[in-house]
């Protein structure tokens, strides 16, 4: 099987109704496929390694079903698990552009670790101290990630590099909107007096080098985009909003947006500057207010680490009921529109090994979330040279769709709980409308949206 044929079949999995996942498979239950009610008991009793073993066993049974024409056939949700071993490896005839796409995604997944190791090596090598010592001083005193400095540090040129187009083509990621958004900035038109004013070579202020004229003027609201669901790493949000790979500035002209992420990621040398160059900043209250004050918009992945633990293929489980901090930001800033954003296909990029609540691994995940603000789900998908196991995401289409804006006109320094709840209810209503009006179009069938606390 050629690589292109395999990927075409892999893309067909988004056309499958997600409700098929909940239907029982015909035939008797085998020892490799325990009953649902016994699954959690087995995981709790055996711990992490037994739960991982059971997860692998279920996929082995899926392969046998495929060979006998079962639920997971050629157009099933996980067709790659039924491939022979040779067909599960990348073809030597894979086009170069597809290799580049895979390489860019591999870089994005591993850049955190790679740049962390590189910075440690630079500090431990005396030959590189001429560069590492000045950078360390700069790293200690620079406060750009937490005080709105991303407004000046973000580089449109870096966001527009061809590698981000390859990144979006890998899945592929598409950016669309249900309604146009009013630009925050529009190009300033010169007044008649400015057109007729003659410059003098004897007046330095009229020289182009010294002229300070604003090219753009503020004409619209700022925006707080709420991205759902989190999935593993919010891959769709990074490609569509964190870069120009999907043409953000062309589809939303005049709206400069900063994607927000965990503060811990800005504690890694080099990686912090890499994120700032992309216009990505720390998701703290102080920093968010600073960015909004400078008339830039922000995008927050609302569900956070807890939602990533709930992620699974074919599900729409959101953590939103008690997530009201972004609503307070809008009320405390004023002249801000809240915009729900849904990433159709975001949760289909990885398989997740779900741990029971009483297992040791689940307790470790919750401990990491409580103490460090993030957690690491146990996930896997495909590899760099194979399709059946690894840490690269599947090539599954992701459509990032923006909904209707909810305008917050007045600035309220100390919003009451009733005011926060009012706009939170409006936001949830618009998010549900965005999902239910478009779920059939993107292969979600009759899957219901589940909103947790």
Domain-located, residue 371: no
**Which residues are CB-neighbours of 56 under 8 A, at least 6 positions away?**
none
- Residue 119 CA, chain-centre distance (Å), reads 25
Residue 60 structural domain: 3-20+31-82
Kindly state the percentage of the chain with pLDDT values over 70. 74
**Has residue 245 been placed in a domain?**
yes
Q: Pick left, alpha or beta for residue 233 (phi over 0 → left; psi -120 to 50 → alpha; otherwise beta).
A: left
In a domain, 258, yes or no: yes
Per-residue pLDDT, averaged over 189-211, amounts to 53
Q: Are 65 and 163 within one domain? A: no
Q: Has residue 402 been placed in a domain?
A: yes
* Whether residues 297 and 337 fall in one domain: yes
Q: Would you say residue 367 lies in a domain?
A: no
| Per-residue pLDDT tens over the stretch 343-358 | 999 999 988 887 777 7
103 and 61, same domain (yes or no): no
Residue from 389, 372, 380 nearest 354 by CA: 380
The number of distinct structural domains making up the chain is 2
Residues 170, 229, single domain; the answer is: yes
Mean pLDDT score, 179-188: 88
Residue 384 resides in a domain: no
140 pLDDT tier (thresholds 50, 70, 90): very high
- How are beta strands 351-353 and 378-380 bridged, if at all? antiparallel
What is the pLDDT confidence band of residue 28, given thresholds at 50, 70 and 90?
very low
SS3 260: strand
Task: List the single range of 321-330, 332-341, 387-396 with lowest mean pLDDT.
Answer: 387-396
Helices (H), ranges, 373-416: none
CB–CB of 385/160 below 8 Å? no
Q: Are residues 154 and 228 both part of a single domain?
A: yes
The first and second tokens of residue 49, run together, are: 């390694």
Rounded to two decimals, the pTM is: 0.77
Claim to verify: residue 292 and residue 315 sit in the same structural domain: yes
Instruction: Tell whether 377 is covered by a domain.
Output: no
Same domain assignment for residues 180 and 260: yes
* Residue 378 maps to a domain: no
Alpha-carbon separation of residue 324 from 232, 291, 417, 418 (angstroms): 22, 19, 10, 12
Q: Are residues 76 and 10 in the same domain?
A: yes
Peptide bond into 155 cis (omega under 30): no
């Amino acid at each position: 099987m050629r690589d292109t044929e395999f990927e075409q079949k892999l893309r067909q999995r988004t056309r499958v109704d997600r409700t098929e996942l909940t239907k029982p498979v015909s035939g008797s239950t085998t020892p490799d496929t325990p009953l649902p009610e016994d699954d959690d008991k087995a995981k709790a009793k055996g711990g992490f390694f037994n739960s991982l073993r059971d997860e692998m066993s279920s996929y082995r049974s899926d392969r046998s079903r495929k060979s006998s024409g079962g639920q997971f056939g050629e157009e099933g949700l996980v067709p790659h698990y039924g491939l022979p071993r040779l067909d599960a490896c990348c073809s030597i005839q894979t086009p170069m552009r597809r290799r580049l796409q895979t390489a860019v995604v591999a870089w994005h997944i591993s850049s955190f670790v790679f740049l962390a190791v590189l910075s440690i090596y630079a500090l431990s090598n005396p030959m590189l101290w001429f560069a590492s010592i000045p950078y360390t001083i700069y790293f200690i005193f620079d406060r750009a990630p937490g005080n709105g400095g991303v407004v000046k540090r973000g580089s449109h040129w870096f966001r527009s590099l061809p590698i981000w187009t390859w990144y979006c083509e890998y899945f592929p990621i598409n950016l669309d909107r249900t309604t146009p958004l009013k630009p925050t900035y529009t190009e300033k038109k010169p007044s008649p007096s400015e057109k007729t004013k003659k410059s003098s070579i004897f007046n330095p202020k009229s020289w182009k080098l010294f002229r300070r004229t604003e090219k753009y003027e503020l004409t619209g609201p700022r925006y707080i985009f709420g991205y759902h669901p989190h999935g593993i790493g919010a891959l769709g949000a990074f490609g569509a909003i964190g870069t120009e790979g999907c043409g953000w500035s062309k589809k939303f002209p005049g709206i400069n947006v900063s994607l927000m992420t965990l503060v811990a990621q800005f504690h890694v040398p080099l990686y912090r500057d890499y994120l700032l160059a992309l216009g990505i900043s720390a998701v703290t209250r102080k920093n968010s207010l600073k960015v909004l004050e400078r008339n830039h918009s922000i995008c927050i992945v609302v569900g956070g680490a807890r939602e990533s633990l709930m992620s699974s293929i074919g599900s729409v489980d959101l953590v939103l009921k008690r997530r009201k901090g972004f609503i307070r930001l809008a009320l405390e800033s004023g002249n801000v529109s809240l915009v729900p954003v849904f990433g159709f296909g975001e949760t289909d990029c990885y398989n997740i090994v779900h741990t029971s609540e009483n297992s040791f691994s689940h307790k470790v995940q919750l401990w990491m979330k409580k103490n460090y603000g993030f957690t690491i789900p146990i996930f896997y998908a495909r590899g760099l040279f194979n399709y059946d196991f690894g840490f690269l995401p599947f090539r599954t289409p992701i459509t990032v769709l923006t909904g209707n804006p909810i305008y917050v006109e007045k600035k309220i320094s100390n919003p009451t709980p009733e005011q926060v709840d009012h706009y939170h209810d409006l936001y949830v209503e618009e998010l549900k409308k965005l999902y239910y009006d478009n779920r059939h179009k993107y292969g979600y069938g009759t899957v219901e949206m589940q909103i947790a606390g």
